[in-house]
Amino acid sequence: MSDPFALEAVDVALSPMERFEEYLKSKGKRITQPRRILIEHVFSHHEHFDADQLIDELSHHSKGSDRVSRPTVYRTLNELVEAGLLRKMEIGGRAVYEHDYGYPDHDHLYCTQCQQLIEFQSAELKELRDEVARQHQFRATGHRFIINGVCDECQKKSRRKKRRVDLI
């Protein structure tokens, strides 16, 4: 049985690297080896991350001349957001990034206990957004909807019967 809220694939004309190179050229900048390493790493998998997680992951994967400095990470993350490749969200007092280019509009469930982000798509929410925009003569170009709560796994943990060892 398929998930009615699952994200659908979006076809794109350029790879994230090609799109970023195009953006940098328009700003009179060039693609450097550290930027290339960072982009390849970020777009090799689809996960939400913050700058510190990315710096930690890159330090384990790159050595010597392939090392990506902390300032380069922060600067490049801002450029990737400006280029439309990443989306930045403020969640739980920290900046969290996710892929934006090549991914459909979607929303999130955020567990306030374990900080897990769960992505979902809802045609009903998009219709509601568009209807509210129409009522206010507003042209919606996107939205960001995050539902805060507690995930199933954390709920199960809190329902678990307390044992003597838990009191230590």
60 is in an annotated binding site: no
Strands 107-111 and 146-149: parallel
Do 80 and 86 form a contact (C-beta atoms < 8 A)? yes
66 is in an annotated binding site: no
111 is in an annotated binding site: yes
**DSSP letters along 89-111, please?**
EEETTEEEEEE-TT----EEEEE
Could you tell me which residues are beta bridge partners of residue 89?
A: 96
Do 95 and 88 form a contact (C-beta atoms < 8 A)? yes
130 is in an annotated binding site: no
Torsion angle in degrees (nearest 10) through CA of 40, 41, 42, 43: 50
Close Cβ partners of 10 (under 8 Å, ≥ 6 residues apart): 102, 103, 104
46 is in an annotated binding site: no
154 is in an annotated binding site: yes
Please provide residue 14's backbone torsions phi and psi, each rounded to the nearest 5 degrees: -120, 155
Q: Binding-site residues for Fe cation, please?
A: 107, 143
Q: Binding-site residues for Zn(2+), please?
A: 111, 114, 151, 154
Q: Binding-site residues, please?
A: 107, 111, 114, 143, 151, 154
